[in-house]
């Protein structure tokens, strides 16, 4: 949860309300979370019957929205008005159509109304008169889409928030299988917690059993197949990822390879240590140390350094720098060069 979102929820929980809130952006997960709070946590159940009004932009006229906001609450101190899909608001003309038609209310909002405008999947242009008035009179939260290569870190942070440990390896597996749909990721993690309520850590076995992600075809196992010497497994996985590119986005795949080769690099400097000490130095579980040390014996330091340089090259190509081919061709080329 970022700083702006924490600030918003802290103020709501302290009941320090702004008169108008605008929530917008490409990532709907946080917008849905905020809207749910306005719907369920500001007013008591009895107060909601008379003082919670939900409207939809495609069905509402701007004048209806303003009239709803101007009405006094009944048997409560506050009234909550929520306008969903605000981008589709009807009515108005000239330069006051759509959201601009609400500026007159935003300039002089009702002190007894809490007005939430939900504008999902797209940012409101910050240079518009409407956005500038929101900034002056109310509170704005923009929910940006999280980049694919940052999803594993987000998964780990979410696990920490709910007191459920999710390691780097497991977060990468989830990200490669579930993509960047935050709500889907949260739902799958909650499904696991419901099925194994006593567990405090997400393991590979639990992922395979309750989420259904194949241990054989995931981006974490792929680098291990490359350095482990099992060419049949490597080529099966390569064929799978070439046929299912969404299962292995290049940024996540490159990140997985980098983590693996970084551990092989560090393995050269922990020889002779106990599994526990080596695991602490490598940032892995003790049971993974043996496989890493075995791979490091077959991949000398010079070869590991070369592969890490290759990853730097293909990382820039994956985002379109000095590259005219697609991800499938990049993947084949990268694996081929690592095997040379």
The set of residues, in sequence order, having a beta carbon less than 8 Å from that of 317 and lying 6+ positions away, is 323, 330
Domain shared by 26 and 77, yes or no = yes
Half-sphere exposure of 217 (CA within 13 A, CB side): 18
Q: Does residue 95 register a pLDDT over 60?
A: no
Range of the domain at 163: 146-215
The domain total for the chain is: 3
> Which of residues 241 and 9 earns the better pLDDT score?
9
The percent of residues in the chain predicted with pLDDT above 90, rounded, is 53
Last residue of a domain, one of 165, 181, 215: 215
pLDDT confidence of 82, banded at 50, 70, 90? very high
Domain shared by 331 and 245, yes or no = yes
Q: For position 110, what pLDDT does the model report?
A: 97
CA gap 253, 223 in Å, rounded: 9
Last residue of a domain, one of 215, 235, 254: 215
Place of tokens 């579930």: 178
Q: How far is CA 21 from CA 78, 148, 152, 339, in A?
A: 15, 29, 30, 55
How do residues 149-166 score in pLDDT, each as one tens digit?
788 889 999 999 999 999
Domain shared by 87 and 130, yes or no = yes
Closest residue by Cα to residue 146 from 34, 21, 29, 244: 29
Q: Does residue 84 register a pLDDT over 90?
A: yes
Domain shared by 22 and 133, yes or no = yes
């Amino acid at each position: 949860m970022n700083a702006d979102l924490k600030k918003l929820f802290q103020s709501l929980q302290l009941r320090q309300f702004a008169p108008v809130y605008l929530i917008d952006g490409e990532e709907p997960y946080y917008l849905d979370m905020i809207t749910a709070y306005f719907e369920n946590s500001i007013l008591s159940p009895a107060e909601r019957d008379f003082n919670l009004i939900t409207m939809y932009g495609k069905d509402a006229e701007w004048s209806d929205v303003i009239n709803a906001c101007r009405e006094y609450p009944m048997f409560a101190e506050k009234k909550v008005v929520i306008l969903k899909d605000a981008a589709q608001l009807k009515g108005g003309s000239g330069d006051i159509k759509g959201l601009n038609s609400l500026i007159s209310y935003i300039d002089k909002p009702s002190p007894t109304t809490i007005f939430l405008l939900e504008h999902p999947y797209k940012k409101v242009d910050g240079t518009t008169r409407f956005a500038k008035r929101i900034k002056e009179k109310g509170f704005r939260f923009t929910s940006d889409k999280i980049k694919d290569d940052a999803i594993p870190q987000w998964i780990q942070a979410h696990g920490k928030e709910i007191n459920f440990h999710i390691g780097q390896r497991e977060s990468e597996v989830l990200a490669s299988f579930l993509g960047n749909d935050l709500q889907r990721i949260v739902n799958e993690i909650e499904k696991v917690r419901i099925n194994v309520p006593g567990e405090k850590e997400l393991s590979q076995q639990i992922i395979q059993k309750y989420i259904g992600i194949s241990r054989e075809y995931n981006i974490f196992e792929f680098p291990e197949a490359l350095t482990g010497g099992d060419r049949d497994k490597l080529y099966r996985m390569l064929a799978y990822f070439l046929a299912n590119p969404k299962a292995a986005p290049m940024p996540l795949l490159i990140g997985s390879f980098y983590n693996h080769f970084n551990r092989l690099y560090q393995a050269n400097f922990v020889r002779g240590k106990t599994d526990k000490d080596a695991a602490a130095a490598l940032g892995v579980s003790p049971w993974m140390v043996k496989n890493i040390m075995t791979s490091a014996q077959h991949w000398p330091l010079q070869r590991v350094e070369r592969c890490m340089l290759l990853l730097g090259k293909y990382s820039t190509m994956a985002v379109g720098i000095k590259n005219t081919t697609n991800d499938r061709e990049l993947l084949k080329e990268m694996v081929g060069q690592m095997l040379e």
